[in-house]
Amino acid sequence: MSPSPLRPATSGLLLRDLTARIAATSPVREAAPDRGDVLVTGITLDSRAVLPGDLYAALPGFNVHGACFAADAVAAGAVAVLTDAAGLDAMSATVPVLVADDPRSVVGAAAAEVYGHPSEQLTMIGITGTNGKTTTAYLVESALRAHGQRTGLIGTVETRIGDERMESVRTTPEATDLHALLGLMRDRALDACVMEVSSHALQLRRVDGVVYDVALFTNLSQDHLDFHDSMDDYFAAKASLFTPERSRAAVVCVDDAWGRRLAAQATVPTTTLATTLATTGEDVTDADWVAVEAAPTGQTEQTGQTTAGGHAPSGAFSLRERSTGRALSLVSHLPGHFNVANTALAALALLRIGLTPAEVESAMAVAPEVPGRMEVVSPGGPEAPRCVVDFAHTPDAVDAALAALRDSTAGRLIAVLGAGGDRDRGKRPAMGAAAARRADVVVVTDDNPRSEDPGEIRAAVIAGARDAVRDGAAGETEIIDGGARSSAIAEAIALAVVDTGEDRPVDTVVVLGKGHEKGQEIHGVKHPFDDRDAVRAALEALASSGVTS
């Protein structure tokens, strides 16, 4: 998504003033020709998105320097260029050029200046972690709307400016896009913006120029090790959000060792949350707040399923403050213990920005819509399995999602999953093992193979699943190579329908990995594909074929 067509109405700064303000904190020098009194009304990294009045940020890239496109940017109306010494040497300057040793490090500050520091006029909530960012963002945003606030949302699934929705290109936009979006939110009199903040964004400085009123941490587990050198490097990127340069306060879930480490080193006022008491019964932390789940009872309204023992989690839990004993009565509208943690984090964020406990309870009683996160797809009929689509694409997320569904599945749990190509290869066997430990049947399929051989990716996932079975960690789990994604989904649903007899409880089929995504990338081409549509098509095909239990 390009910010240029979304340029805020109230933006603009004379280049000489912009240069002076940037130079106050970062070394920036001017190269000829003389800048004069040029008015900068926008900023972009993309020469194809330049509009008249823009500052074009020509950054060094992985394959080519952005300065190679400076002439195109100027022809489109760029009034100045920001680059480094190498970029200056690579271009013929016909407009003023600002030169910085590390131009990426000043882009965020420059964008904030040009667009008038819009984040300072919004309540900013940022959420980071490996799993749960999207769900927690939707929980916070939904509750704020229920409380009567006008909200913006920036994340993996979409970008919202009030009621206007746009598909997101990446979890966290580039700094130029981000400040333009925040400027639009300010211009349209929004009250708050809820954002997912990725480790890539933090390391690549995409959120520079924003100080979040509250930053949330969900958890950390293996992911993105194709980008980060190690788990410590991955953690360090996340941890940079919890410093005065990026946030004013924090809420950190300390259920894992990474959360406890973060809480110990965060340099902003930090509220800690634990939910481990609900699962272990042991006092393993001195967290400020503890989420204690209610005893399972009855039947879940969301799924209509019961466990083998005849009970299912109600989703109700109490969030208690250790120091005062006060408690909030909340409901997790999505299944799984991890969604109790997400809900509790959202509630504590609302408390932190000034809502009263009663207001938090009321606002969070409204069920959110979270695309592709434990999303139940309409069943094909009374004899069809329960079908769920979820974005889980790390070993821990796969384990947590399947554990949640196991608790509310009376019959068999059938999982469909794959792993992405050109990404962290080390997690593929671990994802297969996690699925085999929890599911009765694992159908391995393609995710986004990208440039890799899909069969080789599936083989790595299958190897991990079979190792888990062979080692005795996965019981008698059946492992199937399902091939292409649409056929694998159809096979999984057919297994559930055909093999379910009259005296058997209903099975659950869960399709993992892509969630909300509406495309599948194969050899550089993004083909239209939506797991939810594939599930519906498979259910309809079975219904029309007359196959029954």
Annotated binding residue 304: no
CA distances from 149 to 153, 306, 409 (A): 12, 37, 37
Per-residue exposure over 399-415, b if at least 16 CB sit within 10 Å of its own CB, e if not: bbbbbbbbbbbbbbbbb
Annotated binding residue 450: yes
Annotated binding residue 134: yes
Q: Give the number of other CB atoms < 10 A from CB of residue 10.
A: 11
How far is 140 from 155, CA to CA, in rounded Å? 13
Annotated binding residue 206: yes
Annotated binding residue 129: yes
Annotated binding residue 135: yes
Contact 478, 442 (CB under 8 A): yes
Annotated binding residue 448: yes
How far is 429 from 419, CA to CA, in rounded Å? 9
Annotated binding residue 343: no
Annotated binding residue 131: yes
Three-class SS state of 238: helix
Please confirm whether the linkage preceding 528 is cis (ω < 30° from 0): no
Annotated binding residue 542: no
Q: Give the number of other CB atoms < 10 A from CB of residue 122.
A: 18
> Residue type at 45?
L
H or E segment and range at residue 398: helix 395-407
Annotated binding residue 421: no
Annotated binding residue 133: yes
Contact 10, 183 (CB under 8 A): yes
Annotated binding residue 318: no
Annotated binding residue 513: yes
Annotated binding residue 285: no
Q: Which of 274, 302, 301, 278 is nearest to 289 (CA)?
A: 274
Annotated binding residue 412: no
Annotated binding residue 25: no
Annotated binding residue 298: no
Order of all β-strands in the sheet with 54-57:
28-31, 97-100, 80-83, 54-57, 42-44
Tokens of 409: 């599945």
What is the torsion angle, in degrees rounded to the nearest 10, for the CA atoms of residue 33, residue 38, residue 40 and residue 46? -30
Q: Which residues contact 120 (CB under 8 A, 6 or more apart)?
A: 211
Task: Detail the DSSP E strand segments found in 406-477.
Answer: 413-417, 441-445
Give the residue numbers of the binding site.
45, 47, 129-135, 171-172, 198, 206, 423, 447-450, 513, 517
Annotated binding-site ranges for meso-2,6-diaminopimelate = 423, 447-450, 513, 517
State the binding site for ATP.
129-135
